[in-house]
């Protein structure tokens, strides 16, 4: 049995980026640990979800534990930083935000968990955080440093296959799909070219699990949201493969699993 630690910026990121590999690892008998940098304090709240007097962060912590159970995580930890909000917002520089955290200090917090768990594999994000969110970029920086401190042997940067997404976006536009996140895919700073990716994990068998984990985050992902409203075929296209860049590996897709040989 190996241990996979999946490191994320906010509640709900885990099911979107790595939900399939987490559940796959758990089903194969490995230990899965979820670490989240912030409690998602400044997320956009789905109307009517919170109870009177309930704080968003309280709800998002509970949602994370529910989603983690669905995804097979045996342990959930929060590093204790505050959600920084989208790039350029005033919240970026608020007290104790993850974006302004000292990388070495934050890396030591994560490294302590990696050492305690004797982690074999760590997932972080690519150097642009997938789409440019400051907390996601910080996950990349902090995660790579933590892996160095803890001597974690395998590190994978979760990303999107930009070429794959661009083709799907073009097909959706041609089919007249409404509600796309931009008029032109090139306006979205998402993912990495296929040529830079090293690992493609087929998680199509876990799509119902990913949907269920997304639904657990009801304060952020409404039933009529872009994610959950996608028809099955489109959902499978968007989320049926999880893409990674293995640190230290030559570019070019040569792996189909994060835990091979462990």
pLDDT for 208 beyond 80: yes
Instruction: Identify the CATH number of the domain in which residue 208 sits.
Output: 3.40.50.10320
The answer as to whether 84 is a domain residue is: yes
Read off the pLDDT of residues 215-235 as tens digits, 9 standing for 90 and up: 999 999 988 887 888 889 888
**pLDDT given for residue 185 in this prediction:** 65
The answer as to whether 149 is a domain residue is: yes
Distance CA 152, CA 137 (A): 20
- Is the pTM higher than 0.75? The answer reads yes
- The answer for residues whose C-beta is within 8 angstroms of residue 40's C-beta and 6 or more apart is 10, 11, 12, 56, 57, 60, 83, 220
Closest CA to 66 of 3, 15, 2: 15
Confidence class of residue 178 from pLDDT cuts 50, 70 and 90? low
The answer as to whether 251 is a domain residue is: no
Q: Token pair for residue 161?
A: 């296959």
**pLDDT given for residue 70 in this prediction:** 98
Question: Using alpha carbons only, how large is the chain's radius of gyration in Å?
Answer: 17
pLDDT for 35 beyond 70: yes
Read off the pLDDT of residues 71-100 as tens digits, 9 standing for 90 and up: 999 999 999 999 999 899 999 999 999 999
The answer as to whether 259 is a domain residue is: no
The answer as to whether 256 is a domain residue is: no
The answer as to whether 73 is a domain residue is: yes
pLDDT for 177 beyond 80: no
Q: What is the mean pLDDT of residues 244-261?
A: 97
Query: Among 59-63, 176-180, 233-237, 248-252, which stretch is predicted with the lowest mean pLDDT?
Result: 176-180
* Average pLDDT for the chain: 93
Asked if residue 31 lies in contact with residue 22, where contact means CB atoms within 8 angstroms, the answer is no
CA separation, residue 62 to residues 45, 218, 219 (Å): 15, 11, 11
Number of structural domains (the chain) is 1
- The answer for residues whose C-beta is within 8 angstroms of residue 157's C-beta and 6 or more apart is 123, 124, 125, 126, 127, 140, 244, 245, 246, 247
The answer as to whether 195 is a domain residue is: yes
**Domain range enclosing 165:** 3-246
Residue that is written with structure tokens 């230990």 in the block: 31
């Amino acid at each position: 049995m190996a241990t996979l630690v999946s490191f994320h910026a906010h509640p709900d990121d885990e099911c979107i980026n790595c939900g399939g590999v987490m559940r796959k690892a758990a089903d194969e008998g490995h230990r899965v640990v979820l670490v989240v940098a912030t409690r998602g304090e400044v997320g956009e709240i789905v109307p009517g979800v919170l109870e009177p007097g309930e704080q968003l962060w309280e709800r998002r912590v509970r949602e994370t534990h529910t989603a983690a159970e669905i995804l097979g995580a045996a342990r959930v930890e929060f590093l204790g930083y505050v959600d920084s909000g989208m790039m350029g917002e005033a919240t970026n520089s608020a007290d104790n935000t993850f974006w302004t955290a000292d990388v070495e200090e934050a890396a030591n917090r994560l490294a302590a968990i990696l050492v305690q768990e004797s982690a074999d594999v760590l997932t972080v994000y690519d150097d642009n955080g997938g789409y440019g969110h400051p907390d996601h970029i910080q996950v990349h920086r902090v995660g790579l440093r933590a892996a160095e401190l803890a001597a974690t042997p395998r590190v994978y940067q979760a990303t999107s296959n930009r070429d794959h997404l661009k083709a799907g976006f073009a097909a959706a536009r041609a089919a007249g799909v409404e509600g796309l996140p931009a008029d032109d895919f090139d306006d979205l700073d998402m993912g990495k070219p296929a040529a830079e990716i090293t690992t493609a994990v087929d998680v199509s068998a876990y799509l119902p699990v990913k949907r269920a984990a997304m639904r657990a985050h009801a304060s952020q992902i409404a039933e009529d949201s872009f994610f959950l409203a996608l028809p099955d075929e489109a959902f499978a296209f968007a989320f049926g493969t999880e893409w990674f860049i293995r640190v230290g590996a030559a570019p070019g897709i040569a792996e189909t699993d994060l835990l091979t040989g462990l």
